[in-house]
Structures are given as C-alpha cells and as structure tokens.
Amino acid sequence: MTDSVLPTRHVTTARIVAVRGSSLEYRADRVVGEEPLEIRAAGPGQDPVAVAVTMRTPGNEDELAVGFLRTEGLIEGPEVLRIEAGSPAEMNQPDDRATVRLSRAFDASVVAERHFVATAACGICGKASLDEVAIRAAPLGPGPVVRRQVILALPDLLRGAQRAFNETGGLHAAGLFNPDGQLVAIREDVGRHIALDKLVGSQVLAKAMPLGQRILMVSGRVSFEIIQKAAVAGIPIVCAISAPSDLAVESADRLGVTLVGFLRGDGFNVYAHDERIDLRDLVGWG
C-alpha cells in the first residue's frame, strides 16, 4: 500500500530561516520535490509520441505515465508492455521522461486534437468540453453501497498513511479503499490529480482493474479533473476533505459518480448520487 522507502527526489532538503515569535533559527527543512515529467507513448515500430509534460513530485513515474494515459482515455491498460525511462546519455535526470510501450499502435492524432498542457496545480488545461469527456466515460453502474461510518473514517485513514506529508506538510494524497474502509493503495504528489494518476496507474500495472468496487478519498478540494479521471477509471465514489467545484458536481451527476465533500469530523455533504451512501440510520428506514 505504501513504499517502505520514499522515492529519490520525492522529498528534498532546503536551508531556511525559521522565525518563531521573537526567536530566529537557521536550519534545514524538508520540502516536497517538484520536477517535470515528459510522458510519451509508442506502439510496435512507432517512434515515441510526446503526449504531455506535467509537473509532479518525483517517484512512481511508471504509474503516473500509465495512469495518465488511462484516465485520459488514451489506453485501456492491458496493452501496456513496459515503461522506459529516458537515456542517461541524453538527460541529467532520466526519470524525468517515461515512454509507455504498447502492444498496439498509438494514435498520435488524438494528442494533436486535445492539446494536452498539464501543471501540478490545475491538471490539463484547454481540455475539450464536458460532452467530450462523457463520450470517453459512460455513466457508471450501480457500484457498492457504503456505510456512513466507513465514509466518516476515511480522512483519518488517509492522513495516517501519508508518509511524505508527515515530513513536508506539502503533498496531496489520493487513497483507494474497499467498501469496508480498508486501504488498498495510496499515492502522494504535489498535484492532487497527479496523485490520482499514480494511484490509477498502480492498479493498471497490478492488473487490478476495473475499480467499480472502490472508493477514492482525496485531500483538498474536488475539481472537474478529479471526477473525470475517477469516472474514466470506473471509480463510483469520490470523497474529499474540502469543497467541490460546480463543474465537479455537474460532471459527477452526469457521469454517475457519488460525490462527497467537506468530509470532516462527524459530517459530510453528498453532492451527487447519494444512493451509494447508506443513510438509513439517520432517516429511520430499515
């Protein structure tokens, strides 16, 4: 579920001036890493096609590359043969490039049409309309029904598993849980949507797809990007500590995703498809 050792460059050290009240101290501090990753794809006999350059926290590059391609609807998953890092002869940091080798031809025209530009903060900018996303992600099926107590426990379970956050305080997390609240996998990154791509990629590479019986818990807020990626991956329930955007709510409703926000303490808001949350103890049913 978590790595025993944090990846190289995942967390680095900076020298700081720490001011606390009337005292001053020069010391080292742990900070989260942030570097660009070029994601490329290639089928048999093809030259690699540059798909996107995204800012991310170094580590789990294979998962990120595969997860990005999967959540953007560019691959299904089984066609992934291997992932190659950049050449040490060409790059100072070979892990700043990941080429996904596929068993089938990769359609480069899709990349040209969709104009991928990604940052750690906002995900893919200049994306096509919500209608285009709906084409790639059909509304989800019924999925599990989850007890209220399980939903309420997710923030503490996620926070307790955030190893890199404990060192830096500067990372988002995406955690995958089963309907009983057991942690399946967690990934951290400076970008919340990048953490989700890494998480989905880990499941693709583990051949654990589809994710129709899983719950996604993310730190921070929920954007359209998170809902879109969850829907493409088949995740029926998305929970977050903070607020969703209006487009996230609209897309969750259209794509059949249960959206839970402001999940804190003993409360939460359900913005879409509340039928997957068992609230019978509160309304006097059953």
Residues marked as catalytic? 122
Q: What is the CA radius of gyration of the chain?
A: 19
d(CA 204, CA 155): 25
d(CA 227, CA 43): 29
Q: Give me the amino acid identity at 102.
A: L
How many angstroms from the chain centroid is the CA of residue 157? 17
Tokens of 134: 């709906």
Q: What is the 3-state secondary structure (H, E, C) of 99-128?
A: EEEECCCCCHHHHHHHCCCEECCCEECCCC
d(CA 194, CA 200): 10
SS3 142: coil
Closest among 206, 200, 208, 203 to 228, alpha carbons compared: 200
Tokens of 234: 């088949």
